[in-house]
Amino acid sequence: MSSGSFFKVLLKNFDVLAGPLVTLAYPLYASVKAIESKSHVDDQQWLTYWVLYSLITLFELTFVKVLEWLPIWPYAKLIFTCWLVLPYFSGAAYVYEHYVRPIFVNQQIVNIWYVPRKNDGLGRSDDILSAAERYIEANGPEEFEKLISKAEKSSKSRYNSRTVLEDDRESKFWRSGSSSFYDDDPRY
C-alpha cells in the first residue's frame, strides 16, 4: 500500500477520524484542565460546550432517519463542532447566549398548567397575602391580629363541638347495643 492511497483513505474518512478527536477527546482534555484552573471563564466555555454537544446528540438521535439521507451531515457537524470547540471563535458561548439561554432562563415555554390569579378592579392580584396587606393598610396591624385571634377561637370551638358530637354518637352507638358497624347519621 503506497503512501498516496493511505492519504486518500485518510481524506475520505476524515470525518470519522477527526470527529471523535474534535467532539470528545479535546473537549474532555480541556474540561479537565478547566476544572483544575482557578478561572471561571474556561469552566463556562466547557460547560456550555457539553450542553450544546448533548443537544446535538439528542438532535441526531431524534432525526437519525432524516440525517441518513444527508451525505453532508457528518461534515457539517464536524465544522459546527470545530466552531463550538475552538476558543478563538467562542461559538459555544455565542450559541448559548443567543439561542439556548433565552429558552431556559426567560421561560418562553407555554405552561399549560398555569392558572392566572384573579385581579381586583385596580389590577392587584386577589391572593391571601395581598388581601392581608390590604386589610392591614385599611384597618391597622392591631385589628389584623384581633381578626386572627378571633378566627383561631372560632376554629377551636368548632373542633371542640365536633369532638363532643362524635363522642356522643359513639356512646349512643354502644348503648343501643347495635351490631351494625355503620351509624345511622350520614354526616361525616
Q: Global pTM?
A: 0.50
Question: Looking at the predicted structure, is the pLDDT value of residue 63 above 90?
Answer: yes
- DSSP assignment of 51-119, as one string? HHHHHHHHHHHHTHHHHTT-TTHHHHHHHHHHHHH-TTTTHHHHHIIIIIHHHHHTT-S--TT--PPPB
Contact 59, 24 (CB under 8 A): no
Average pLDDT for the chain:
76
Q: Is the pLDDT at 140 greater than 60, yes or no? A: yes
Binned at pLDDT 50, 70 and 90, residue 181 comes out as very low
What is the arithmetic mean of pLDDT over 119-141? 72
Alpha-carbon Rg for the chain, nearest whole angstrom, is 35
Give the model confidence (pLDDT) of 71-91 as tens digits: 898 888 889 999 999 888 888
Residue % of the chain over a pLDDT of 90: 16
Residues 6+ apart with CB under 8 A from 31: 46, 49, 50
Q: What is the largest CA-CA distance in the chain?
A: 108
Q: What is the pLDDT of residue 188?
A: 47
Looking at residue 69, the DSSP 8-state letter turns out to be T
Task: Show me where the domains of the chain are located.
Answer: 3-105, 128-176
Higher-pLDDT residue of 97, 10:
97
Which one has a higher pLDDT value, 54 or 165?
A: 54
pLDDT for 65: 93
